[in-house]
């Protein structure tokens, strides 16, 4: 029982970063939410990082589950599981 509670309470938000070209050359950021259902298994609306970069050839893409995303997912019991993508160029 303790292990089950600990595994739920000690989970962390995931995060990954992709570098396109030589990476971000400035600090302009654009952030959008990605929408998934059923514990993230089925995408409903996912942001397009290339479109978010608005033609830039060098940029960073950071996708993560923020605290707010995790809270929304917990409140909906995982039926709706959003993530956040930020493009820095």
Using one digit for the tens of pLDDT, what is the confidence trace for 20-78? 999 999 999 999 999 999 988 999 999 999 999 999 999 999 999 999 999 999 999 99
Query: In this prediction, what percent of the chain has a pLDDT beyond 90?
Result: 80
- Give the list of residues 6+ apart from residue 5 with CB closer than 8 angstroms, or none: none
Cα distance between residue 28 and residue 52, in whole Å: 11
Tokens of 61: 């893409």
């Amino acid at each position: 029982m303790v292990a089950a509670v600990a595994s739920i309470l000690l989970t962390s938000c995931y995060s990954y970063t992709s570098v396109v070209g030589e990476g971000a050359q400035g600090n302009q950021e654009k952030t959008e939410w990605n929408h998934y259902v059923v514990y993230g298994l089925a995408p409903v609306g996912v942001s397009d990082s290339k479109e978010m970069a608005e033609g830039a050839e060098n940029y960073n893409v950071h996708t993560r589950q923020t605290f707010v995303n995790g809270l929304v997912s917990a409140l909906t019991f995982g039926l709706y599981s959003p993530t956040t993508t930020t493009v820095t160029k």
